[in-house]
Amino acid sequence: MTGEVDHRLARRALIKQVRAGEVSRTSVCDAHPELLRVARRFGRRTRVLCPVCAEDHLVTVSYVFGPRLPSHGRFVETRAELEAFDARPEHFTAYLVEVCRACAWHHLLTQRPLGGRRRSAIARSSVH
């Protein structure tokens, strides 16, 4: 068990509300400018068209939050970077966010814990 939390069910419910007119498009197309900047420059393109505007394919970006990181988190570009955080003794949380570069729709897809790895007894004994 990884402790991953999947937010796709909430995503589907929100999209349904937007399409039914229960939630305004402007209230869900409000991605922070920094998130949009990262999405435009580094986002990983998906095959999924934006469920709100259908003008662009969604991209995903990953952020990590935790000790000694900026309060706004750290953008993580590669799987190797995620694995490096996972190997650390500190506890972190990774977030995978989808973003539409055209209309600024964004939604948290998943979050999962990283890190918290204990050093082995061998590694501790060789530190002396």
Q: What's the burial of 89, exposed, middle or buried (CB within 10 Å: 0-12/13-18/19+)?
A: exposed
Q: What is the mean pLDDT of residues 100-108?
A: 97
Of 1 and 120, the one with more pLDDT: 120
Q: What tens digit of pLDDT does each residue of 28-50 get? A: 999 999 999 999 999 999 999 99
